[in-house]
Amino acid sequence: MNLDQNKKNAIAFYKMAYEGNPVQAVAMYVGEDYIQHNPMVGDGPQAFIAYFERMQKEFPVKTIEFVRTIAEGDLVALHTHQVWPDEDEYVTMDFFRFSDDGKIVEHWDSIQQIPKTALNANKMY
């Protein structure tokens, strides 16, 4: 298992889907079976595609910055900063499990909205 390649593939997959091309992202990076733990998205590649196609249609203008990427064993973790319409900001942590042949086969995530005020000056990303 190539950890550096898995990190690159996780970023490319997420970026491609996020920016509006989930069909290509799935074709290039996802295995036959895809287990989804986000309760807003169904299992399988088609459910992933449908979710991101809807997100692109509803929110075509958004940005993502990949702040940190960590790989260990068959897992890759991504820490992102996202800006959505009306300057609505989120920090996410996504975990991808890779198969032995380098395909994404499972996903977990945690999403938190960045508040307008904080009790410290530290960024969440």
Burial string for 71-87 (b: 16+ CB within 10 Å, else e) reads: beebbbbbbbbbeeeee
Q: Tens of pLDDT along 90-121?
A: 999 999 999 999 999 999 999 999 999 999 99
Provide the token pair at 6: 């898995």
Q: How far is CA 7 from the centre of its chain?
A: 12
Provide the token pair at 12: 């490319």
What are 110's strand-pairing partners?
93
pTM value is 0.93
Least confident piece of the model among 26-30, 72-76, 84-88: 84-88
Which pLDDT score is estimated for 119?
A: 97
Which pLDDT score is estimated for 72?
A: 98
What are 35's strand-pairing partners?
106
**64, 15 in Cβ contact below 8 A?**
yes
Q: Tens of pLDDT along 38-72?
A: 999 999 999 999 999 999 999 999 999 999 999 99
